[in-house]
Structure 1
Amino acid sequence: MKDLLIRAVSGALYISLLLGSLFWSKIAFLIVVFVFGVLVSLEFCRLSKFAVWIGIPVLGLLAGLLHWVVPSVIDPTLIVSANILANLALLPWLFKAEAKLNDWQRKLAFVGYLCLGIASLSLLPLDNDVFNYKVVIAVLCMLWANDTFAYLVGRTIGKTKLMERVSPKKTVEGFLGGAVGGLAIGYAAHMIYGVYGLTNWMILAIIVVIFGTLGDLVQSKMKRQAGVKDSGVIMPGHGGIYDRMDSLIYAAPFVYIFLILNCYVS
């Protein structure tokens, strides 16, 4: 009971910081995402044996470029697209059981998948440079509903393993349960916000569920190859901040591109 309470409190604090910063202002959200990004980067560096003294400055440089330099020179969508390519490049490694990242692949993964993923996340609330937090709140709720329903359904009736060599506890039944949870939030968002159309919300929910699950699996394989259960200890009952943000970081660029192509332009 005590462990459950600790888990609930640390999870509530994490959610409160993210949602609270979104409600507060653009700058508050950027600060929270950057601080979380630094913590995630530290944990990633430990998992992948990547030099921290290189990793954190690279993250800071990319964040600064993306928000203050790049927009005046090129469309940030091109940077987000590079993030998507890096994420997709990880899939052969993920699905090949014995595959390991070599030194160069780890460096490219840190920059292209992790740093650009955090940067893509920071761009999500920006609609033509106007801070629009409502869709991001819906995306966060989709991810959390996916995680919660996947856990509950998988624990209750899960039998068919999803990717046993990567994450032994994940099941196909849990994945489908998570998808139902994500779609339910998509429907609720459509009813509450009344914009973008139901079809767009359903497609967005599917994107969040699929790529959020892939992000979770990518991190699970990294932990398995590093021989650790959690990425860190900063969140009692959960592990590390990377354990909580893996799905969000991986899904962020796909969500951003979809919103640009199908929602913000409508």
Structure 2
Amino acid sequence: MKEVIVRTISGVLYIAIVVFSMFTSREWFMVLFFFLAAITLREFLKLIHLGSYLAYFLLAAALYFLSYAVFDKNAVSLLLILSCFVNLFLFKDLLWVSKIPMFEKKKYIAVIFYLISGFVFLTLIPMHTGEFSPDYIMGVFVLIWANDTFAFVIGKTFGRHKLLERISPKKTIEGFLGGLVGSICASLLIFEYLSTHYISTIDNNALWIWISLAVIVSVFGTIGDLIQSKFKRQAGVKDSGALMPGHGGVYDRLDSIVYASPFIFAFLEVIEYVS
């Protein structure tokens, strides 16, 4: 009971800080996620046994020049392509090899194009229209939280068939499907809220956009969680850190969104281009 209370308080505090930063200003949002990114990077570097001050410099430079003050949109597009490619490569390694090669031989590739770029695109999502709009990024986090919550509840209650037992024994197909349904239900509520409060800014296609985002978040978020589980398994640890009581490290909380954010941003860019 005590563990549940600690976990709940820790989770509520984390969500409150994230929501506050999103709806205060872009600067507060960038500052918070720079610190979250730095902590996540520290935990990730420890997992892959890489001691590097250069990685923190690259993180700061990437967030400033490719997110806060974009110096070249073509550079962002190139980073997006490379990030999606590397993430899909990690997914391939998750399924077909016993160890992720990037974990052993190409650590900086994973650091730059998986972790750092994940935060770059996470912080670019609310800017995809050219103005800072927290609705999309807040919505994405709600979809992530809904997916995680429903996956846990449905998986614990009805889970019988393992999703990828050798990587994450507790994850089940039923849990994944429950998370997908929960995320889609959350997307309907998000659309209803936005269409009620911001009716002039919601186009006729917004509902299918939010449902599509729910599917992307559920699928790629689950893959991101499994990839982090494999990193931890190779490192021989249970959690990436201990900063958040009852939850582990910051990386444990952000693994889904870090992996999914390039694909979310790519989807939003395609929608913006087509429309």
Give, in whole Å, the separation in 2 of the partners of 1:230 and 1:81: 30
2:126 partner amino acid? P
Deviation at 1:264, TM superposition (A): 7.5
Deviation at 1:69, TM superposition (A): 5.9
Residues 1:213 and 2:222 are matched in the alignment: yes
**Structure 1 contact 50–107 (Cα < 8 Å) conserved:** no
Give the stretch that moved more between structures: 113-122 or 253-262. Answer: 253-262
Residue ranges of structure 1 left out of the alignment (5+ in a row): none
- Residue 79 of structure 1 corresponds to 79
Deviation at 1:152, TM superposition (A): 0.4
- Residue 180 of structure 1 corresponds to 181
2:248 partner amino acid? G
- Residue 198 of structure 2 corresponds to none
Aligned partner of 1:235 among 215, 235, 244:
244
- Residue 124 of structure 1 corresponds to 125
Deviation at 1:74, TM superposition (A): 2.8
2:33 partner amino acid? V
- Residue 167 of structure 1 corresponds to 168
Q: Which residues in structure 2 correspond to 1:1-266 (within 5 Å)?
A: 1-67=1-67, 70-72=70-72, 74=74, 76-102=76-102, 103-194=104-195, 195=202, 196-262=205-271, 266=275
Percentage of matched positions with identical amino acids: 39
SS at match of 2:244: coil
Q: Deviations over 1:1-60 (max 9, x none)?
A: 211111111111211111111100101111111100000000000101122323212211
**Structure 1 contact 187–198 (Cα < 8 Å) conserved:** yes
Give, in whole Å, the separation in 2 of the partners of 1:19 and 1:77: 28
**Structure 2 contact 66–75 (Cα < 8 Å) conserved:** no
Q: TM-score, normalised by structure 2?
A: 0.92
Give, in whole Å, the separation in 1 of the partners of 2:73 and 2:216: 29
**Structure 1 contact 204–255 (Cα < 8 Å) conserved:** yes
Give, in whole Å, the separation in 1 of the partners of 2:214 and 2:100: 31
Give the stretch that moved more between structures: 256-265 or 161-170. Answer: 256-265
1:185 partner amino acid? A
Deviation at 1:104, TM superposition (A): 3.5
Q: Please tell me the root mean square deviation across aligned C-alpha atoms, in Å.
A: 1.7
Give, in whole Å, the separation in 2 of the partners of 1:148 and 1:127: 28
SS at match of 1:239: coil
Give the stretch that moved more between structures: 151-160 or 6-15. Answer: 6-15
**Residues 72 and 36 of structure 1, relative CA distance in 2, 3 Å threshold:** same
Residue ranges of structure 2 left out of the alignment (5+ in a row): 196-201
SS at match of 1:168: strand
SS at match of 1:130: coil
**Residues 159 and 263 of structure 1, relative CA distance in 2, 3 Å threshold:** farther
Give, in whole Å, the separation in 2 of the partners of 1:41 and 1:91: 20
